[in-house]
Structure 1
């Protein structure tokens, strides 16, 4: 494929961990995608507030937004709440069920190796977990790696995540995360991959 045939995609995401996951997904299609620009948000509020504008901007070049399902009952409930306009065909909107952490948990062997814990500790149905982030933090508490425990686990009751939560998990995403295996365990990840695989700009 010629450079002129590549699709330059703008990424919009809630946090650095989601951005790393999106980058790795795009790398599965090296002859199709390049990252054009990134818009890291500060949680879902930024995405929800600006989704209409990003949808309109996708007329110029494809935009790929990833949001966590969080407390919505199902993806359709989130879509009904966020989107009251027609989606542009070049706007790729995907939802991680329930959080992007579920997609990391879906690679049970890789995460067990990274955390240095037994693979049997890691749940087999990551999309069915009510709070994947909490599950991941609880697993980190059992890690035989001191840096994992100190950087991922909250250091006090007022903190929701550890001081280098995104940084340490981003290391896992870039170096060990097996997307192919994770897709076999997470339906929402598989659908996101297939959307990118089948996408053709209009």
Structure 2
């Protein structure tokens, strides 16, 4: 089955594609990539689209939502439909990435023991991932993922490209789901699609 995606940005897109494929579906059209405010504003319209067209997987970084618990995001959907999968990523998409300690460690060339075991409890998973990249012995990787000194960015210029490389070459969805409840629930929900 083809599953479309509504995501905050390019990092979320690559993870969504991999998760959809893992669940035996085909990734379809990608919508959004304009931040969570766009998703919040357009959510009802995409719900209607899912009713009449392909199912849509919506990924929202929970830490961006301003809500107190992930299930509250469901309140944003006025007309729930089984083909409209609105999922809260606890805390943000990098939490799901960090949940595969071995894959991240292998990609960065660092010990898996330095990667936090409970990524959904991290205050800032993206910053944690960037800080782990600082430990890498691969200079080009560090230069791509880490912001240059004196810049205001929180990630380096090649961050998204390196995340894509990690997701497609090293990240194991099944392993990550064992350390991420929100990823596990997303997978369970995707597998229910008919």
TM-score range, shorter chain: over 0.9
After TM superposition, the structure 1 = structure 2 runs for residues 21-100 of structure 1, keeping only pairs within 5 Å, are: 21-30=15-24, 33-61=25-53, 62-71=55-64, 72-80=67-75, 82-83=76-77, 85-100=78-93
After TM superposition, the structure 1 = structure 2 runs for residues 1-202 of structure 1, keeping only pairs within 5 Å, are: 7-30=1-24, 33-61=25-53, 62-71=55-64, 72-80=67-75, 82-83=76-77, 85-155=78-148, 156-200=150-194
Q: Is the 8 A contact 1:19 1:40 kept in 2?
A: no
SS in 2 for 1:59: helix
Gaps of at least 5 residues in structure 2 are: none
SS in 2 for 1:159: coil
Structure 1 distance, partners of 2:58, 2:118, is 24
Report the CA distance between 1:140 and its aligned residue: 0.8
Q: Is the 8 A contact 1:16 1:40 kept in 2?
A: no
Normalising by structure 2, we get a TM-score of 0.92
Q: Is the 8 A contact 2:3 2:20 kept in 1?
A: no
Taking only aligned residues, the RMSD between alpha carbons, in angstroms, comes to 1.4
Structure 2 distance, partners of 1:174, 1:190, is 19
Give aligned pairs, total. Answer: 190
Report the CA distance between 1:158 and its aligned residue: 0.9
Normalising by structure 1, we get a TM-score of 0.89
Structure 2 distance, partners of 1:117, 1:35, is 31
Report the CA distance between 1:47 and its aligned residue: 0.9
Gaps of at least 5 residues in structure 1 are: 1-6
Structure 1 distance, partners of 2:68, 2:125, is 15
CA deviation string 1:135-172 (max 9, x = no partner):
11111111111122111111134112110111101110
Structure 1 distance, partners of 2:105, 2:26, is 31
Report the CA distance between 1:53 and its aligned residue: 0.6
